[in-house]
Structure 1
Amino acid sequence: MLQSITLLGSASGRNAGDAALLAAIMDSIDEACAEKLLYEIPSLNPNFIRENYSNRVRPIGVMPWHASLRLLGVPTLRSLLRTDMSLIFDATLFDRALFNPMFNFLSSYAVLLPIAKKRGKLMGCFTSTIGPVRTPRGRDMLRRVLELMDFITIRDVGDLRAMREAGVTNPNVVLTNDAALLTHACSVQRAQQIRQSLGLNANQEVLALNVNRYFNSWSGGQRNPMTHEEFVNTYVAGLEEGLKEVDAQLLFVSTQHMDETLTREIMEKVNLPQHKALLSNREYGHAEICGVLSGVSLLSAMRLHCLLLASVSAVPVIGINYLPKVRTYMETLEILEYSLDFDDFSAESVAEHLRRGWRDRPKLRALMQERIPRMQEQVRLAPAIVAALHRGESISPIIDKHRAKYPD
């Protein structure tokens, strides 16, 4: 039986999406196993782990004075060898800055995980994103890491494509969805309290907006990179044109600490009469953000996990694709026409994107209410696999049953 698991991913507390993922993973596994396991979590901010989760957690410090460069170091290796299983989560299997362990985790996995595997440790990918991987070295490293896994559950068809391109032949690969869809929101009363503190009128609709400072780094489009000023001016002009006739309060949502400055700048520059408020993960936890988003009429977002935190409650969403994973999520929802690529990023396209989303929000809500429960059901395969291993059972019957019900 499993007693302990090491969770490998981004766990600094700076990103509400990562924080939600951690909670959803631990809660869903404990529920499936019908007991609380111990989770060791390498983190730059051990206090965040210790203070924000009700699960049995043991934070592992990974700063240089712990003899570690993020995950690459003695503390993580000791954790891998001490626990019964290791799970890779979130979007850490990419090859950008491949040999910089302060930014890239794939190279750290390639060093550490084979050592744990030789000791007979179980390991898997828990609803992970695969890629982007664009270099021969990156593809080779990805292949070697994924062949070590006892199981691989992934979020979308884009992950399958990335694995095939890397030559991964692991037989226990299953398409599920994002574990953040299992996030528990805060209480209705707490969400109402936060809305009141933000000055939001309960009798008027709310349109939520989310941006990401990585508007150039990852999109892989054909257009020339934008400057910070160009992005802000274009987005603000699009908001002012697209929302001038929208009767809704504007809620600006920052789910990553590094995005808040950009979010505040845009919020202050927008010249619109609607009430404006800021919901930031510097002040509120992931469950609180999830709860507040459950009451909005539409969310336009760049960050994937902002989209997911709204999707938990089947809120209508439209996306701006700064990364392939955002586009593939919208594709999975079968609403790709409500996403905007950066190749087509202009004040006019942003305005039309918002107008269309707002006009079609009843249609989008109906689609979300139909599709999100099915996607949440798919996610539950990942904790079910862990529970089977916990009981010492074969995972093949569970995987085969899932594949029969949800063909790739």
Structure 2
Amino acid sequence: MGKTSNRQVRRVIVSGYYGFNNSGDEAVLKSILNALHAEGEAQGVTFEPVVLSADPAWTTKMYGCEAVPRMSPSVLLREIRRCDGLISGGGSLLQDATGWKTIPYYTGVLTLAQMLGKPTFIYSQGVGPVNRGWLFAPIRRVMNKSKYVSVRDAESAALLGRIGVAQERIEVVPDPVMGLPLPEGADLSLAAAANDMPIIGVSLRHWRKDGADLERAAAALAALASRRAVRFRFLPFHTPDDAVTSQVVMDRLKAIGIGSSVAELAAPSDDPQQMLLEVSRCDMMFGMRLHALIYAANQRIPLIGLSYDPKIDQFLNRLGLTAVGTTEQLDPEQFASGADALLNDLDGWRTRHGEAIDRLKREAQRPAQQIAALLS
């Protein structure tokens, strides 16, 4: 640990799903780095973050901080020995829906830090689903040995409680991205290539192997276009996959026919704040990606969620909302009616949900505040 100009310097490792071209996870990292800097300034701590990344050179270029390979045991050992603490999060790191190897990796990194006597901090993680019972033990162990534990929803806290983590040790906070600001000097205008049509942000991902969920989404969007002229702006949050998925739906819309409405694909961006800017230019968001919905809430853009995972429902619940449908069921006319009504009452939506959004934005800073206090 060092001290410069009466400011304490703390070298912290940040572990998460970083360097994979996923805009949502990159937004989490950007939000954590911003919050640490702000809270460090407030509490007299200079944080020196070291990010564990799949693409260290890209991460360093994007965020201006040190980054090292996430899968190199020798590098992990060296960096953890040099650090003052390790932050794990945010995002859905502790789940086995995408495979069994995810949880052993992230708990393994935490365990190594704890074995070397370094304080560990869980930063607004989404925990679960965990379908393999043998994975409960490593999660319980690293959580109980962590200096600070925060999760992004009550359901994650309840799951940790069921597997043996003391509830009083767990703080429920929003996803870090609720605190992400727009880039400095952001231009909120968007070229009016489609006259004054309302802009509907669309964020979809490939989920069902048979593509039936995308077929239903296309039918729902076409139903809205049959009621009024709109500008569908597809936003690829994970490249290149989401761009491919978006093109599939756009081709389907062309085949169905959307009258005078327009469908276009936004240019992918590595910078999460640029994607936040894209969302801020929309009048409404129809989102399947969690962070598309969080971006929309962050910018007070009225939103409609399509659920493919409990984390979507959990976030919507915090705003007093429910999903319009799921990847298994989506009624086109019900979606169109709801979206049409929402477009006619955008300010009313902001009034009804503004207080909840403001609360989430404030609470998103809590983990950084706690970590700065514990390391100062």
Q: TM-score, normalised by structure 1?
A: 0.82
Judged with a 3 Å threshold, the aligned counterparts in structure 2 of structure 1 residues 387 and 276 are, in CA distance, closer, same or farther, namely same
Compare 374-383 and 109-118 and name the one that shifted more.
109-118
- Is 1:309–2:295 an aligned residue pair? yes
* Counterpart residue number, 2:284: 298
Please give the alpha-carbon distance, in whole angstroms, between the structure 2 residues aligned to 1:287 and 1:126.
20
- Is 1:144–2:141 an aligned residue pair? yes
* Counterpart residue number, 1:84: 84
AA aligned opposite 1:253 = L
Please give the alpha-carbon distance, in whole angstroms, between the structure 2 residues aligned to 1:356 and 1:341.
20
Please give the alpha-carbon distance, in whole angstroms, between the structure 1 residues aligned to 2:109 and 2:186.
45
Judged with a 3 Å threshold, the aligned counterparts in structure 2 of structure 1 residues 145 and 98 are, in CA distance, closer, same or farther, namely farther
- Is 1:210–2:203 an aligned residue pair? yes
8 Å Cα contact 2:32-2:176 kept in structure 1 = yes
Please give the alpha-carbon distance, in whole angstroms, between the structure 1 residues aligned to 2:365 and 2:261.
40
- Is 1:279–2:286 an aligned residue pair? no
AA aligned opposite 2:147 = D
8 Å Cα contact 2:213-2:327 kept in structure 1 = no
Q: How does 1:362-401 map to 2 (within 5 A)?
A: 362-391=347-376
8 Å Cα contact 2:225-2:261 kept in structure 1 = no
* Counterpart residue number, 1:131: 128
- Is 1:95–2:82 an aligned residue pair? no
Segments of 5+ residues of structure 1 without an aligned counterpart are 217-225, 392-408
How far is the alpha carbon of 1:388 from its aligned partner?
Answer: 0.5
AA aligned opposite 1:45 = D
* Counterpart residue number, 1:358: 343
Among 83, 100, 106, which residue is 1:109 paired with?
106
Among 47, 68, 76, which residue is 1:60 paired with?
68
* Counterpart residue number, 1:11: 18
SS in 2 for 1:127: strand
How far is the alpha carbon of 1:284 from its aligned partner?
Answer: 5.4
Please give the alpha-carbon distance, in whole angstroms, between the structure 1 residues aligned to 2:166 and 2:121.
15
Segments of 5+ residues of structure 2 without an aligned counterpart are 1-7
RMSD: 2.2
Among 239, 243, 247, which residue is 1:260 paired with?
243
Q: How does 1:154-303 map to 2 (within 5 A)?
A: 154-169=151-166, 171-187=168-184, 189-192=186-189, 195-196=190-191, 199=193, 201=195, 203-214=196-207, 216=208, 227-228=210-211, 230-257=212-239, 258-270=241-253, 271-272=257-258, 273-280=260-267, 282-283=268-269, 285-303=271-289
8 Å Cα contact 1:242-1:354 kept in structure 2 = yes
Please give the alpha-carbon distance, in whole angstroms, between the structure 2 residues aligned to 1:87 and 1:313.
27
SS in 2 for 1:129: strand
Please give the alpha-carbon distance, in whole angstroms, between the structure 2 residues aligned to 1:61 and 1:179.
23
8 Å Cα contact 1:235-1:350 kept in structure 2 = no
Please give the alpha-carbon distance, in whole angstroms, between the structure 2 residues aligned to 1:188 and 1:365.
24
8 Å Cα contact 1:177-1:375 kept in structure 2 = yes
Taking every aligned residue pair, what percent have the same amino acid on both sides? 18
Question: Structure 1 residue runs of 4+, over 6 Å off?
Answer: none
Compare 323-332 and 378-387 and name the one that shifted more.
378-387
AA aligned opposite 1:93 = L
How far is the alpha carbon of 1:166 from its aligned partner?
Answer: 1.7
AA aligned opposite 2:245 = L
8 Å Cα contact 1:33-1:390 kept in structure 2 = no
Q: TM-score, normalised by structure 2?
A: 0.88
How far is the alpha carbon of 1:86 from its aligned partner?
Answer: 0.8
How far is the alpha carbon of 1:115 from its aligned partner?
Answer: 3.0
8 Å Cα contact 2:243-2:265 kept in structure 1 = no
How far is the alpha carbon of 1:289 from its aligned partner?
Answer: 1.5
* Counterpart residue number, 2:54: 44
8 Å Cα contact 2:173-2:364 kept in structure 1 = yes
8 Å Cα contact 1:98-1:138 kept in structure 2 = no
How far is the alpha carbon of 1:302 from its aligned partner?
Answer: 0.5
* Counterpart residue number, 2:325: 340
8 Å Cα contact 1:294-1:313 kept in structure 2 = yes
* Counterpart residue number, 2:74: 74
